[in-house]
Every structure is written in C-alpha cells, then in structure tokens.
Amino acid sequence: MKSWEKGKNMDKDFNQFTIHKKMEILVEEMIEKEIPLKEAVNEFKKVFIQIASKKYKGNKTQMARALGVHRNTLSNLTKNLKK
C-alpha cells in the first residue's frame, strides 16, 4: 500500500470516530508533549473561532449565534486570544 493510500484510510477511520474519541486522541498527544492546560484551551478556542469565521465568512453575529455566545463576548474572546 502506498503512503497516500494509508493516509486516505486513516482519514476514513478517523472520520468514523465520535467527537469524544477524536478529542481523546488529541488530548493524549497534547499530554504526551506536556502542553499546559491553559495553552491547550486557548489553542482550542482559536481554532474553534477560526473555523466558525471561515464557515460564516467573518459574520460575527452568525458566528456568535453558532458558538452560543453574545457577539460582544465573541469580540472579547477574539481580542484576548490575539495577545
């Protein structure tokens, strides 16, 4: 099997996992690398907001609704994560 075929199979297998299992895999890797909880949580928030921004084309009102936060809270989160 070629390496790119292995990658396709791994993606297919990974997509079959529950969100909880995917997070377990990620957390295990982060703990193995001794990434502090605060840094891990901030990275999660950054990625979460970046993906929401792409999906909603930067529309903060739609992003806030989808993330379950007030638009002002989203703005504050964005500012704080850029520091």
Distance CA 28, CA 8 (A): 22
pLDDT in tens, 8-40: 566 677 788 899 999 999 999 999 999 999 999
Sequence-ordered list of residues with C-beta below 8 angstroms from that of 27, at least 6 positions apart, any chain: 40
53, 45 Cβ separation under 8 angstroms: no
Domains (range + CATH), the chain: 19-82 (1.10.10)
Please give the single-letter amino acid code of residue 4: W
The pLDDT value recorded for residue 13 is 78
Report the chain's mean pLDDT, rounded to a whole number: 88
Q: Quote the percentage of the chain above a pLDDT of 70.
A: 84
pLDDT band at 82 (very low <50, low <70, confident <90, very high): confident
